[in-house]
Structure 1
Amino acid sequence: MLKRVVVTGIGALTPLGNNVKTFWDNAVKGVSGAGKVTRFDASLFRSQVACELKDYNVTDFLDRNDIKKTDAYTQYAMIASDEAIKDSGFNIAAMDPFDVGVIWGSAQGGMETYETQVREYALGDGHPRFNPYLIPKFLINMASGLISLRHGYMGINYAPVSACATSNTAIMDAFNYIRLDKAKIIVTGGSEAPISPASFGGFSSMKAMSHRNDDPQTASRPFDVDRDGFVMGEGAGALVLEEYEHAVKRGATIYAEVCGAAMTADAYHMTSTHPEGKGATKAMQLALNEAGITTGQLDYLNMHATSTPVGDLSEINAVLNLTGGEKNTIQISGTKSMTGHLLGAAGAIEGILSILAIRNGIIPPTINTQSLDPAIHDSMNIILGEAVAHDVKYAMSNTFGFGGHNGTVVFGRV
């Protein structure tokens, strides 16, 4: 018999706040996390806009020894997971350490470390003065490894990679391992530190990112007729998933239940989503089937909605396929309008917003959308401008990634 899986801890480090409370409060207020890039001189780049962390100093969270040995993406992972683990309040000393695992993802890993080291070598005198921590700093699995090392968790441990669907993949894997009784608790989520010249420049050269450089705070505008690309974000989201009976027995706070999850592939294009949303439709339907609910019972959908001209309409078509184009009660928002696109960490922070929508009865808005794309069907209930109070029993979170990866998770009230 499959076990039930619940969320007992959450942690966040985002462009809207360096903890869950600040993140949630600013999301509900409809705050934009975007601005001109400050991390490096982007003045010659086509796009010069990003959602960077604010008022952030890594030394407020980690000691210098940890900082020296890690890339920013791992630092973000440790900070967000520390918050989630503390929030969950489980005592590893009272457990078998092999019952607690970590499944943590990133799309790019330590890109900044790798880029910096290679550039210094190329511009140097030819001597290979590489940092002895270079390899562990850029490996994508190092965040999951160091979270387990930091806390003594000896169970399942690895890093899935599915581009911008990565953290939903991680959540789905953690969900499956726990319900198959292969773990009692798994710390899961994703982190990304992509605002470096090579990563930023690569996306900019693809013309995937907004170049609304004169008005950066409104650059991310999902569903708008004038949207021109995504805004890159950075940070991390962490969730503690736990077997339901184990959580109840220890008196844990339960935020929500993970009710269903699914992945599919578009098998269509290297970087573009399927125009009819075929793979995305199937992922959403499979996740709903696993949750045992219909579209009529789904209250909130946090869409991937990156603000790209093609991607937004592809996902809209997928939702229309799901609902048959009929008028429905599903409330929809695109919260990347506020946070930007955190790539492999997107699903984790959007999962947290979905969970808190269930818990608090408030749905964060889509901001910056001034004129809806006329191609958007009138059956879509898109929340624009301001958060709305709504009784949310079930929420769905979508993520899609380069390579045609589609990942969907359904959360429910316990």
Structure 2
Amino acid sequence: MKRVVITGTGALTPIGNNTNDFWESLITGKSGSSLITKFDTEKFKTKFACELKNFDPIDFIPKSEARKYDLFTQYALIAVDEAIRNSDIDFDKLNKNRIGVIWGSGNGGINTFQQQITEFAKGDGTPRFNPYFIPKMIVDIASGVISIKYGLRGINFTTVSACATSNTSIIDAFNYIRWGKADMIITGGSEAPINESSIGGFNASRALSTNNKNPKSASKPFDMERDGFVMGEGAGAIILEELEYAKKRGATIIAEIVGGGMAADAYHLTGTHPDGEGAFLGMKSAMEDANISPENIDYLNAHATSTPLGDISELKAIERVFGKKNQLNISATKSMTGHLLGAAGAIEAIACISAIQKDTIPPTINSKNIEPYFNDMFDLTLQSAKEKTINFAMSNTFGFGGHIATTIFKKYSE
């Protein structure tokens, strides 16, 4: 099959509104968590999240256009614009019939849905809905809007696999290109879930941290005192191209994608398998796809949301795949960004790609009292970034419903 390379990325995150700022914040261990400003949290159990900072969509998108889109679509457009600029693409010189968009979002236009239903409930029962209500809300609209903006007529759809969504999108894009069905695909994911319904809903399922006194240190993966994840928002975009196609157009190749594995826990609505069965199968499948062994992986960006059960199950799966005392470095960047749900895989893929480029592993911050059984088993890259030659990096994502998606990226060489 054809080789697939990465030529550009775009990031919009709680710790940086572009790829460079995002990376600098990662390696310096910056937390994006703070008190929520988007709504009144007085009656909510959780009062903090990882919101975007110093950001206004109108700085990037004309107001007349922005009003047609939910925030998750606006975030997508902004991240994609950066990725295209970084990849130095001139679509007018390319066959747009062979360029696609495979985008992901777990919740789609949940802000729009909440706003419209709230307004209807406050009214007299007369249906006065915004004419953009449905296209703003539906989860597939971001991929459609991206293709419309750039005139891309190739493969176009949206994946939904909860918090595994972005990795699923990336794997799908990878497969379609190496199967020869497309020359280039814009992929990634976006999420805008910080509102009353999301925070309230995840509180009800007891998934969120309630450490309101110390929001910056609330996300502490693998730590004995972890009490749930911290909600995040934003987007990550990645340009994937067939190798010879990228070389022909003179693109700068920054990394290669070599493997993708998907599986299912088949266990519980919201909880991971206690022994990480799906995670084990996903990682194993990704390595088989890449035709490499566990010893080849230099860095693993763990799903590690900071939930009591989820972190343990992932570490059990990692132990089963890699064994004990492996030279593998692991880190949990959600300790800084929070959990971007359907967009998590996209920004964590960018973290892996940047780590490969810079030969530097971003840290796991906040975590100090590691689960005793795993304390001396793995290098969790605690508190500080670490320089290390990285040839292969793996990224894990797991979603409600038992969805598993793992990707593997490689340092590019001829």
In the other structure, the counterpart of 2:83 is 84
Aligned-partner residue type, residue 349 of structure 1: I
TM-score, normalisation: structure 2: 0.99
Query: Separation in 1 of the partners of 2:87 and 2:156?
Result: 19
In structure 2, what is the Cα distance between the partners aligned to 1:370 and 1:380? 14
Correspondence 1:77-116 to 2 at 5 A: 77-116=76-115
Q: Distance in 2 between matches of 1:130 and 1:27?
A: 42
CA-CA distance at 1:90 after TM superposition:
2.1
Q: Structure 1: which 5+ residue stretches go unaligned?
A: none
Q: 2:328 aligns with which of 327, 330, 333?
A: 330
Q: CA deviation at 1:377?
A: 5.3
Deviation by residue 1:369-413 (Cα, 9 ceiling, x = unmatched): 121111325221110001011100000000000000000000001
1:204 aligns with 2:203: yes
The amino acid of 1:28's aligned partner reads I
The answer as to 2:274 corresponding to 1:275 is yes
Matching residue of 1:349: 347
- For 2:321, what is the secondary structure of its paired residue? helix
Q: For 1:249-398, list aligned pairs within 5 A.
A: 249-323=248-322, 325-376=323-374, 378-398=376-396
CA apart distance, 1:205: 1.4
Instruction: Give me the whole-angstrom Cα distance separating, in 2, the residues matched to 1:144 and 1:75.
Output: 11
**Runs of at least 4 residues of structure 1 off by over 4 A?**
none
- Separation in structure 1 between the aligned mates of residue 219 and residue 352 of structure 2, nearest angstrom: 20
SS of the residue corresponding to residue 321 of structure 1 reads: helix
Q: Match for residue 122 of structure 1? A: 121
CA distance in 1, matches of 2:324, 2:12: 38
- How far apart in 1 are the matches of 2:12 and 2:42? 27
Deviation at 1:251, TM superposition (A): 1.6
Describe the superposition over 1:88-139 as per-residue Cα deviations: whole angstroms up to 9, x where unpaired. 1122111211110000010000001001100100011222110000000001
Aligned Cα RMSD in Å? 0.8
Per-residue displacement from partner, 1:2-44 (whole Å, max 9, x unpaired)?
A: 1000000100000001111111101110000000111101121
Question: How much does 1:363 deviate?
Answer: 0.7
Specify the alignment match of 1:412 in structure 2: 410
What is the identity, as a one-letter code, of the residue corresponding to 2:150?
H
Q: Distance in 2 between matches of 1:331 and 1:228?
A: 24
Number of residue pairs aligned between Structure 1 and Structure 2 = 412
Q: Name the CA distance, whole Å, in 1 between partners of 2:75 and 2:89.
A: 21
1:135 aligns to 2:154 (yes or no): no
CA distance in 1, matches of 2:291, 2:51: 39
- Could you say if the C-alpha distance between residues 295 and 377 of structure 1 is closer, same or farther in structure 2, counting changes exceeding 3 Å? farther
Question: Does 2:4 correspond to 1:5?
Answer: yes
Query: Which string of whole-angstrom CA distances, capped at 9 and with x for unpartnered residues, describes residues 130-158 of structure 1?
Result: 00000000010000000000111110000
Kept in 1, the 8 Å contact 2:301–2:348? The answer is yes
Structure 2 residue 221 is matched with structure 1 residue 222: yes
CA distance in 2, matches of 1:29, 1:192: 24
Q: How far apart are the structure 2 equivalents of 1:342 and 1:42?
A: 19
Specify the code of the residue in structure 1 equivalent to 2:255.
A
Question: 1:214 is matched by which residue type in structure 2?
Answer: K
SS at 2:186's partner residue? Answer: strand
Amino acid at match of 2:19: V
**In the alignment, does 2:139 pair up with 1:168?**
no
Amino acid at match of 1:339: T
| 2-structure distance, mates of 1:333, 1:406 | 18
What is the percent sequence identity of the aligned residues?
A: 54
State the one-letter code of the partner of 2:204. Answer: S
Q: 1:46, 1:205 within 8 Å by CA — same for their partners in 2?
A: no
Q: Secondary structure at the match of 1:407?
A: strand
Contact 1:164 1:401 in 2 (8 A): yes
Q: Secondary structure at the match of 2:373?
A: coil
AA at the equivalent of 2:14: P
Paired with 1:329 and 1:283, the residues of 2 have a C-alpha distance of: 20
